[in-house]
Amino acid sequence: MKDVITISELAKLMQVSVHQIRYFEEKGVLHPAFTGENQYRMYGMNEVYRLAHILLLRKMGLSVQVIQDCLSHLTAEQIMPIFRQALTDTEAEIRRLRDTKHFIEKLLEKKESISQKSIQTEGGAYSIIHRDEVSLSLWFEMQDAESLGAQRLVEHRGNISNLFEADIHYVYNDSGTIGLYTQEENRQSDLILPTGSYLSCTLFVQNEERIAKTIQEFYAYAEEKGYLCSGPLIMVEKSYLSLFTPDQLHYELLSYVSNPEAE
């Protein structure tokens, strides 16, 4: 019985931990070829192949119980649907990872576009920017005097996916209401922000009082520079940027400007 190896040698060969092999043994899906007089577990080629199969099935995301079934009594015809489901689950995970990749790229890109000054202070970073047309879907409306609370989020949670990864557009209407809009695929367009020049102000704030003050300053700045702001005032919340400033929320104020060269 020289053609056998110890559990540590098996672990090194298969690039797993001894603990992982012992876990499979505890679950009954793997057994040593025999246990020597020195109480060492010993493994031969049959066990090497069985562990290889276990690891392949685990790589597919299958549970230990399903692995036990696959390696013990299921036929090839019974195993095929399990593998097809594993493929479907893997494709879903790939989509999730792709979405996560795009979010991280977006996060880094947005961070790079914000000046260090606007991060260190609570506002005052004004600029004229060009924006392409954006189609928005209405999430819900609230009164101008209302505060967005946790209960309201719960009430409308089902209408938006990836809530805190999205740019939430607060659109201020003359009627005293605020419409909350998002860019949601496969949903109808309720509002279109046209292509053109926009006066933009970025700010990090800790309270709503600062937002109200900044809105006043925003219009005062536009008047001072002679900009003709048309259309509704838009405040874009990018809560994910608080990953860089945990005690503050990031917003961008926007208004369409018909004469960007006024200054």
In b/e form, how buried is each residue of 1-40, taking b as 16+ CB within 10 angstroms?
eeebbebeebbeebebeeebbeebeeeebbebbeeeeeee
What's the pLDDT tens digit per position in 27-67?
999 999 999 888 889 999 999 999 999 999 999 999 999 99
User: Is the domain of 81 the same as that of 65?
Assistant: no
User: Is the domain of 129 the same as that of 201?
Assistant: yes
User: Is the domain of 134 the same as that of 244?
Assistant: yes
What's the pTM value of the predicted model, to 2 decimals? 0.72
Q: Which domain holds residue 89?
A: 75-113
How much is the pLDDT for 59? 95
Q: Is residue 263 assigned to a domain?
A: no
Instruction: Give the chain's residues under pLDDT 50.
Output: 117-123
Q: Is residue 148 assigned to a domain?
A: yes
How much is the pLDDT for 204? 82
User: Is the domain of 185 the same as that of 245?
Assistant: yes
Report the residue count for the chain: 263
CATH code at 189? 3.20.80.10
How much is the pLDDT for 117? 45
Is residue 250 exposed (0-12), middle (13-18) or buried (19+ Cβ within 10 Å)? Answer: buried
Q: Is residue 262 assigned to a domain?
A: no
Q: Is residue 183 assigned to a domain?
A: yes
User: Is the domain of 102 the same as that of 133?
Assistant: no
User: Is the domain of 94 the same as that of 17?
Assistant: no
Q: Is residue 169 assigned to a domain?
A: yes
CATH code at 47? 1.10.1660.10
Rounded CA separation 71/75 (Å): 9
User: Is the domain of 123 the same as that of 240?
Assistant: yes
How much is the pLDDT for 173? 87
User: Is the domain of 105 the same as that of 168?
Assistant: no
Q: Is residue 70 assigned to a domain?
A: yes
Q: Is residue 145 assigned to a domain?
A: yes
Q: Look up residue 250 and give its two tokens.
A: 């990031």
User: Is the domain of 200 the same as that of 247?
Assistant: yes
